[in-house]
Amino acid sequence: MRMSKMGFKPEKLAPKDADTINHKLLVQAGFVRQLMAGVYTYLPFGLRVLRKIEQIVREEMDAIGGEEMLMPMLHPAEIWKKTGGWEIDVLFKLKSRTDREYALGQSQEEVVTPAMKEFIKSYRDLPRRPYHIQWKFRDELRSKSGIMRGREFLMKDMYSFHLDQADFDKFYEVAKKAYLKVFARMGLSAKVTEASGGAFTEKVSYEFEVPTEAGEVNILYCNSCEFCVNIDDINSYKPGDSCPKCKKEELIPAVAAEVGNVFDLGQKYTKAFDLKVATSTGEFIYPIMGCYGIGVSRTMGVIVEKFHDDKGIIWPAQIAPFTVYLIDIKKDKEAQEIYDQLTASGVEVLWDDRDINVGRKFTDADLIGCPWRMIVSDKSLATNEVEIKSRGENEIRMMKMEQFIDSLK
Amino acid sequence: MRMSKMGFKPEKLAPKDADTINHKLLVQAGFVRQLMAGVYTYLPFGLRVLRKIEQIVREEMDAIGGEEMLMPMLHPAEIWKKTGGWEIDVLFKLKSRTDREYALGQSQEEVVTPAMKEFIKSYRDLPRRPYHIQWKFRDELRSKSGIMRGREFLMKDMYSFHLDQADFDKFYEVAKKAYLKVFARMGLSAKVTEASGGAFTEKVSYEFEVPTEAGEVNILYCNSCEFCVNIDDINSYKPGDSCPKCKKEELIPAVAAEVGNVFDLGQKYTKAFDLKVATSTGEFIYPIMGCYGIGVSRTMGVIVEKFHDDKGIIWPAQIAPFTVYLIDIKKDKEAQEIYDQLTASGVEVLWDDRDINVGRKFTDADLIGCPWRMIVSDKSLATNEVEIKSRGENEIRMMKMEQFIDSLK
């Protein structure tokens, strides 16, 4: 993509109304705009990142047997009344012209369970793992964390259906591992954190927490083992307590942001919607359900909070809007050739070919935060090399183009 | 994809509550499920088709300078009150817990205009063509046309901004051509139809109408030239009138379904949101806007209405969920080899490897409607060929696999 052809450009100044780093940088760099608190427009750069996060999530859900579908957002009130969900305070409610009541989906148990009832009749039809990546709505009282706490937000939610607790437990572990892989692919190290089941279940649930000061959750974790607990939810522990799991170290407090969660829903929803299956012995039982969420748009915000410096965003390679930010100091055909060579090799390039001061190009390269900055200059042309710099490092390297392209693979 | 691994299967019987062919076939073949009138879940097959339609639309919009972004669905009431849109009867309205008023987007002029104001300051910033593919909501009194008239529906809406009427008029023609190309790629021949501008404008607008008895619009068209008019909107014409354009033939009545529309919005929204630009002579003027909609989910319904027979759907190749429906009569490793060969060549295959009566496989092949049915049988194996049949034809052909794969390209 050529910057000179782009209508959505980075700004010189940060927005004045930014409460958080992700809001500030994402607006200034031209990724998003706020329509109102908690509701954002994704500009072309932002949409590219969102789609890449979505695709990583999709691949890992498909890899564990996920079946992608798409459930709607406008729900009849009846399904929410059936489970008690109608009383949830963050549920947006509305009425039609003819006084029919609807809810806007903030989760989809009430849709997926009756939908699956038709397809799950016998033990042979289990397990099942439908999921979708769909926008959700929450009537938040405050929404001041940029795209980290949306009133409208993109979420992947998977639901699993199992014949018995043992089968559920087995898949629960598979799903947790897949989640860690999803986050690792985005450069995030997430902690599997014990928490309460909230509105969904009496059982312990697990949150995937990324330590960051922009977070809203207080956790305690152990440095020796993987133990981690949300102490806003589960207050049996306090900082300095010995780790209840390995007993080797004291628990360390941190502030963290939730990027995903998994719940053991038990039979709550299968009972509510009378989804039962015939077992191999001819009895009828209610399957055990799990639900598995990943905040797609929220994770994009968390990534900006984790990966930035005072000059701008530092995108992890796999979700960066472009891999290379190409700057031509010489206004020559050479930059075009390099751009063509890179794109022909499948490298995503943002070419800053604008007729502006080169200092501004360097500033915008840092602000936008593509993993590699490449400069075409007299110096690089003289040696038949390219001058590259990693966004996260200061060192400038000269390299043959082929070598650089190989290094990306 | 292997049918034996799929949880969402076609049904033997058509749904009892179907008012329309698209609802009936899409449900029976396992593409969608209705949550309530006008609100549907897209099952994996349905989502594949929806994404393919979306991708065709995206490619053609990008080809005419479209800039893809993603605008939100939950809108503050103020922007709708500013333009008078708050009074539109199909606009869904809701309130937060703290009594803030919102609308659910049924179109996005009220979002895109203030958003673009920041990026359009001078004549040098024009023209611009932002678009998105996003779900919309309409508070329909009745919604009985399957996925053709949704209360929640997927739509591509592009908005263009121009310095003057001449530049708008030029792009208007470019957009109309791109629309015809979009529909042609999906196998649809759409008529560019004069209509009123509805709530948007006093000017004539153009609808893209596909003749089908499932449609809701009465049109009059000329067989000699391209003249076509929506007579529900513009009642200056009646059947049998001489064509006002070419004057060669009498106008013919038909019922049609709208799949897209384009509007000259004039300065209505740029004035409402005070989006003005400096001209080259230093004056300030309000740009001319256009808006360009394509009903993505609606078009999927129209395609089913147009392309089906009494056995099921006949998908046009470019948007079919899979290209080949592979049936193995012999339960042998040969079917696996053929499946592997096809997928390695980039052909999308749905392999019906279920342990069921082969008659049911033939029935489901017709119902699901992939363009090609391929059979692995003793006969085909003996001659080292594959037995193929086009969904729309009766003739069975024997062919070398390489020849078949080549024919798809």
Report DSSP letters for B76-136, one per residue.
EHHHHHHHTGGG-TT-EEEE-TT--EEEE-SS-HHHHHHHHHTT--BGGG--B-EEEEEEE
Q: Which CATH class is domain A3-309?
A: alpha beta
Question: Would the pLDDT of A151 be above 80?
Answer: yes
Residue A250 is classified by DSSP as: B
The residue of chain A with its CA nearest to that of B33 is A115
Question: Would the pLDDT of B331 be above 70?
Answer: no
Decide if A70 and B50 are in contact by the 8 Å CB cutoff: yes
The pLDDT assigned to B200 comes to: 59
pLDDT band at B196 (very low <50, low <70, confident <90, very high): confident
CA neighbor of B233 nearest in space, from B212, B266, B202: B202
Q: In 10 A of CB B364, how many CB atoms?
A: 25
Q: Which CATH class is domain A322-408?
A: alpha beta
pLDDT tens track for B356-388: 999 999 999 999 999 999 998 888 888 888 999
pLDDT tens track for A154-194: 999 999 999 999 999 999 999 999 999 999 999 999 999 99
Length of chain A: 409
The pLDDT assigned to B329 comes to: 82
pLDDT tens track for A61-95: 999 999 999 999 999 999 999 999 999 999 999 99
| Alpha-carbon torsion (A18, A22, A28, A30), positive or negative | negative
Residue B64 in contact with partner chain A when CB distance is under 8 A:
no
The residue of chain A with its CA nearest to that of B46 is A69
Give residues with Cβ within 8 angstroms of B194, minimum separation 6.
Answer: B204, B205, B206, B228, B229, B230, B234
The pLDDT assigned to B96 comes to: 97
Decide if A72 and B104 are in contact by the 8 Å CB cutoff: no
Distance from CA of A100 to the nearest CA of B (A): 10
Decide if B74 and A137 are in contact by the 8 Å CB cutoff: yes
Could you tell me the two tokens for B364? 């489901």
Q: Which CATH class is domain B32-309?
A: alpha beta
Percent of chain B surpassing pLDDT 90: 89
Euclidean distance between CA atoms A187 and B77, whole angstroms = 39
pLDDT band at B240 (very low <50, low <70, confident <90, very high): very high
Give residues with Cβ within 8 angstroms of B77, minimum separation 6.
Answer: B86, B93, B100, B101, B102, B103
Which H/E stretch holds residue B256? strand B252-266
The pLDDT assigned to A143 comes to: 82
Give residues with Cβ within 8 angstroms of A95, minimum separation 6.
Answer: A101, A102
Decide if A69 and B42 are in contact by the 8 Å CB cutoff: yes
pLDDT tens track for A258-304: 999 999 999 999 999 999 999 999 999 999 999 999 999 999 999 99
B47 vs A68, A97, A141: nearest CB: A68
Euclidean distance between CA atoms A296 and A276, whole angstroms = 32
Decide if A44 and B69 are in contact by the 8 Å CB cutoff: yes
Euclidean distance between CA atoms A267 and A280, whole angstroms = 19
The pLDDT assigned to A332 comes to: 67
Residues of A in contact with B68 (CB under 8 A): 44, 47
CA neighbor of A37 nearest in space, from A157, A153, A209: A153
Residues of B in contact with A49 (CB under 8 A): none
Residue A96 in contact with partner chain B when CB distance is under 8 A:
yes
The residue of chain A with its CA nearest to that of B4 is A125
pLDDT band at B328 (very low <50, low <70, confident <90, very high): confident
Question: Would the pLDDT of B197 be above 80?
Answer: no
The residue of chain A with its CA nearest to that of B38 is A74
B92 vs A94, A137, A152: nearest CB: A94
Euclidean distance between CA atoms A38 and A52, whole angstroms = 21
Euclidean distance between CA atoms B217 and B210, whole angstroms = 10
The pLDDT assigned to A118 comes to: 95
Q: C-alpha distances in angstroms, B346 versus B95, B338, B397, B405, B406?
A: 49, 13, 22, 9, 11
The ipTM (two decimal places) reads: 0.96
Q: Where are the domains of chain B?
A: 32-309, 322-408
Buried/exposed A277-308: b ≥16 CB within 10 Å, e otherwise: beeeeeeeebbbbbbbbbbbbbbbbbbbbbbb
Distance from CA of A241 to the nearest CA of B (A): 40
Could you tell me the two tokens for A33? 């705009």
Percent of chain A surpassing pLDDT 70: 98
Selected residue with higher pLDDT from A331 and A97: A97
Euclidean distance between CA atoms B69 and B148, whole angstroms = 25
If you average pLDDT over residues A207-230, what whole number do you get? Answer: 96
Decide if A67 and B8 are in contact by the 8 Å CB cutoff: yes
Residue B244 in contact with partner chain A when CB distance is under 8 A:
no
Asked if the domains at B32-309 and B322-408 fall in one CATH topology, the answer is no
Residue B287 is classified by DSSP as: P
If you average pLDDT over residues A334-355, what whole number do you get? Answer: 94
Question: Would the pLDDT of A146 be above 70?
Answer: yes
Decide if B33 and A135 are in contact by the 8 Å CB cutoff: no
pLDDT band at A19 (very low <50, low <70, confident <90, very high): confident
Selected residue with higher pLDDT from A334 and B30: B30
Residue A319 is classified by DSSP as: G
Distance from CA of A108 to the nearest CA of B (A): 11
Q: φ, ψ for residue A382 (rounded to 5)?
A: -60, -35
Question: Would the pLDDT of A328 be above 90?
Answer: no
Q: Is A301 helix (H, G, I), strand (E, B) or coil?
A: helix
pLDDT tens track for B259-308: 999 999 999 999 999 999 999 999 999 999 999 999 999 999 999 999 99
The pLDDT assigned to B205 comes to: 93
pLDDT tens track for B4-36: 988 999 999 999 888 899 999 999 999 999 999
If you average pLDDT over residues B175-190, what whole number do you get? Answer: 97
Residue B17: Cβ-neighbour burial (10 angstroms; 0-12, 13-18, 19+): exposed
Cβ contacts from A onto B, under 8 A: 122
Arithmetic mean of pLDDT over chain B:
95
Euclidean distance between CA atoms B406 and A349, whole angstroms = 33
Euclidean distance between CA atoms A402 and A398, whole angstroms = 12
